[in-house]
Amino acid sequence: MNFKKFLPENNQSMIVDLTALVDIAFIIILFLGIVATLAPISSINVELPKASTEETAIKPIKITIDKDGNFYIKGKKVSSEEIAEFIKKTNKKSLVIVADRRVQYGIVVNVMDIAKQNGIEEINIATRKGQ
């Protein structure tokens, strides 16, 4: 194809407009940046081994919180001070909080704070399998 016939006779140089190319490159960079943040943090696929028992040798402390904000350890109603004493006495490093879904968030955080102050290293919140 002869482009010279479209240019004026006095100027035989050709000008290429790169605006569209720069716009497309910028959009591709933005797309890759957004997709990279959505990628999973850990992409290591690990298949865990099976075991015949489900329980571990070390049983964690289990604190139950009912919908009214009352605390229970082993079915006995306790106060927050008694929770701290119980954690110190048992000297365990793991805790499971079984809280009613209607309990205020601050009550659960209070129990977590008491546990951390008294030497608990691992805190889990019990849930049930949902759909």
* 24-33 confidence digits (pLDDT tens): 999 999 998 8
**Non-local CB neighbours of 83 within 8 Å, separated by 6+ positions:** 63, 71, 73, 111, 114, 115
Q: Does domain 61-125 have CATH number 3.30.420.270?
A: yes
Residues of the chain with pLDDT > 70: what percent? 73
**Non-local CB neighbours of 35 within 8 Å, separated by 6+ positions:** none
Mean pLDDT of 59-70: 89
How many CA atoms, within 13 angstroms, populate the side-chain half-sphere of residue 46?
Answer: 6
Check pLDDT > 90 for residue 85: yes
- DSSP H helices, the chain, are 19-38, 80-90, 105-117
Dump pLDDT digits (tens) for 65-83: 988 889 999 888 999 899 9
* pTM given for the model: 0.55
Closest by CA to 96, choosing from 125, 75, 118, is 125
Residue 14, pLDDT score: 67
Dump pLDDT digits (tens) for 105-126: 899 999 999 999 999 999 988 8
